[in-house]
Structure 1
Amino acid sequence: MSERTLHDPPGPPAVGESRAQVLDILRATRDAVGVREIAERTGLHSNTARFHLDTLVKEGFAERTTEGSGRPGRPRVVYRSVASSAEPTGPRSYQLLARMLTGLITEALSQPAQAAVGAGEAWGRYLVDTPSPARRIDAEEAVRRLTQVLTDVGFAPGPVEHRPDPVVPLRHCPFREVAEEHRDTVCSLHLGLMRGALKEVRAPLGVDRLDPFVEPSLCLAHLAPADEHRAADRAA
């Protein structure tokens, strides 16, 4: 997007594979459905399903209501798709908004990259499929859960490679236009997202660093044993 472009490119908003699956289920279901039903039918973690549902509401593809108060207990929040004729039209300027907000954060905070890592960690903990307290997660399972989060967000992660240390290749940046202008802040947010996800599942490894745009469409997330990662955090 050029410096003077105010609107996002025309066409439907980019919808990740998981979010598209959620939308398909809403459109194919006559009655409104809750988060649990969506999670069961898609295999997504309930927090991830709720994130996609709420995003579809914000984008105008779905609506959120509560079931009638005649049922005992707390009213259940349910979702249904919005008819295509009621979908909002007109240009979108989310890239411009993202640039403006990222610029504001960069200028307003004394350590924006550090703040971005912290915010990313909170979202990573929220979006990952958290194991039960009694379950011990090995490195392979931890990477699988991390990869699922990255796939849901739109990073198109590949299998772990050794270069020579283990890395997760990220072959698509869903925030590329903003990241190119505010690399320190946006890439720190992505680093925190991955670190938070691995910490939440009590993984035996962490993300040591993120090398952005080593190729035009490739970033590398370097993995390290969790003990080394914690030591690096203490030294920072």
Structure 2
Amino acid sequence: MFVDTSKEVRDADVSAVAALDEPTRRRLYDHVVRRPEPVSRDEAAAALGLARQTAAFHLDRLAAESLLDVVYERRSGRSGPGAGRPAKLYRRSAKQVAVSLPDRRYELAGRLLAQAVEESDATGEPVRRVLHRKAGELGTHLGAQHGTDVCELLERHGFEPRREDGTILLANCPFHALAQEHTETVCGMNLHLLRGALDGLDETGFEAHLEPAPGRCCVRLRPAS
């Protein structure tokens, strides 16, 4: 299953990380994370010596940023009429938050590589061939589902496109560290990913070519011959 790592998701992650910059909010988050059970507003306020209203404000902000989940439970152990209202409780969200500058997409590469290894093991097809096909399929999906303009799509997924002499240079490699150590594998995957993206966009004006150079992505888009 493809996990969206688009600009909107990245911006949401940046906002979530920024929310933890406030000291009281970060203390509350750390307190909730350390507790084995969901935490109430009263419990959090008492533990950190805060006014209940202050604790509630910051806990709700953390929930709004998807850093905490909200659950409702009756702490009395009773149910039915007279049991009272369920308490609003907080626990750490299962959502993963990651921010990197420049933009990196290592989870995307890892998923493609894992899928290629598993399918190759099951079918006997060479793993590199499977990887190229999977990358192309994902690129086609991205182009068809999220694309309107080639530069907009590339920007959305972290490539930092720059128009230069009729070509499109990609100033950032989202798989930089992997490409440095496993150049042939990762650059081949990236080439097929971008060829698939052009297909998904139905973009016939450009072709993706491997043109590695220091300080940028190994692929450049050139006018179609």
Give the TM-score range, shorter chain: 0.3 to 0.5
TM-score, normalised on structure 2? 0.46
